[in-house]
Structure 1
Amino acid sequence: MSIGLLGGSFDPAHQGHAHITGEALKRIGLDRVWWLVSPGNPLKARQPAPMAERMARARAVMDDPRVVVSDLEARLGTRFTAQTLRRLTALYPGVRFVWLMGADNLVQFDRWQDWEWIMRNVPIGVFARPGSRLAALGARAAEEYARFRLPGPSARLLPFRKAPAWCFLDVPMVDISSSAIRARGEWRAGA
């Protein structure tokens, strides 16, 4: 089984997350995608809305039987992506996991704890995001691991490749972000 992992605070979840998930299922050929709603983002100072509210919103936005909205990181007690991936690969040795992220995350991926361990141990699907495409392809992680990049049309090979392996998917983009939704006051904890 191949499972895509889309992690984040989902504060709030929105159609952009759903769009990337649909593209991942289609283009990478994943059997499932797990949305890993994190307790918090170590790279962000602000506290997210309560977990129960973010989980409920995520389930409302993503209604597909192949997608599981999970608070797994809170239950595992992991704080960083690499910790979570280490635990998941140990718990599910027969599953082919693929980490999914937007191009905006690849830009600052080298700031993530143990980012090189992630690159060397879990295949990664990177999805185009408005304003981030060129910066992502010039990012430190992209440059250092350039020889392990699969061309977009070969994305279906990603779950079967031994890491390091990554693919940049130039998909139609949805110009929406959780930050913009919060800034417009469309999402408030308890609202």
Structure 2
Amino acid sequence: MRVGLYGGSFNPAHAGHRHVGLMALRRLRLDRLWWLVTPGNPLKARGDLASLDTRIGAARALAAHPRIAVTGFEAEIGARFTLETLRYLRARRPGVRFVWIMGADSLASFHRWRGFREIADLVPIAVVDRPGFTLSASSSPAARFLDAHRVDERDAGALADLAPPAWVYLHGPRSTLSSTALRAGGAY
């Protein structure tokens, strides 16, 4: 089983999230995609964070795809960091080939994540390009650290079968939608 893990606040979930999800399912040849709605991002202020139940409900309504599951299980297991979530999943589902999916904006700050090197050693990573982050993500400390393990985009469909560290940068149609901008515009 090949499962993509797409974590985030989803505050609010929007069509750009669905676009990334559908692209990941297709380009990475995934069997399933799990949207992991986080209780809160340790690198972001929580002041304007909608309740977990509200964000999960909105994400489920938006995902609307038989191979996308939306879950808030990180709150249930008490995981605060991606590293904790991945350790938990790898220990309990050793036969599943997980792939972590993030936007280019996340790659730009990935070096600030707790245990980013161990995350890269636990699962292959797919980075989806986002407007305004192409260059900063590609030249970020994490991208430079992982450069020797970058997979050609033409081989993205094999990523789940590769031993980590391995990562791919996916290009294609990009969504300009942003949860931050939607909140600023009063959409949530």
Letter in 1 for 2:89: L
Distance 1:110 1:171 in 2: 25
Backbone CA RMSD of aligned residues? 0.6
The 5-angstrom pairing of residues 53-132 of structure 1 reads 53-132=54-133
Kindly state the Cα deviation for residue 141 of structure 1 after the two structures are TM-superposed.
Answer: 1.0
Distance 1:66 1:101 in 2: 18
Partner of 1:14: 14
Distance 1:16 1:82 in 2: 25
Give the match's secondary structure for 1:158.
helix
Give the match's secondary structure for 1:94.
coil
Q: How many residues get paired? A: 187
- Over residues 117-154 of structure 1, what are the superposed CA-to-partner deviations in whole Å (9 max), with x where a residue is unaligned? 00111100000000001111101111111110001110
Distance 2:172 2:126 in 1: 12
Kindly state the Cα deviation for residue 32 of structure 1 after the two structures are TM-superposed.
Answer: 0.3
Stretch deviating more after TM superposition (141-150 or 94-103): 141-150
Give the match's secondary structure for 1:145.
helix
- Over residues 44-88 of structure 1, what are the superposed CA-to-partner deviations in whole Å (9 max), with x where a residue is unaligned? 112410111101100111100100000110111100000000000
Under a length normalisation based on structure 1, what TM-score does the superposition of the two structures give?
A: 0.97
Structure 1 segments unaligned to the other structure (5+ residues)? none
After superposing on structure 2, the runs of 4+ consecutive aligned residues of structure 1 that deviate more than 6 Å are none
Distance 2:169 2:76 in 1: 31
Distance 1:126 1:107 in 2: 10
- Over residues 10-29 of structure 1, what are the superposed CA-to-partner deviations in whole Å (9 max), with x where a residue is unaligned? 10000010000000000000
Structure 2 segments unaligned to the other structure (5+ residues)? none
1:35 aligns with 2:35: yes
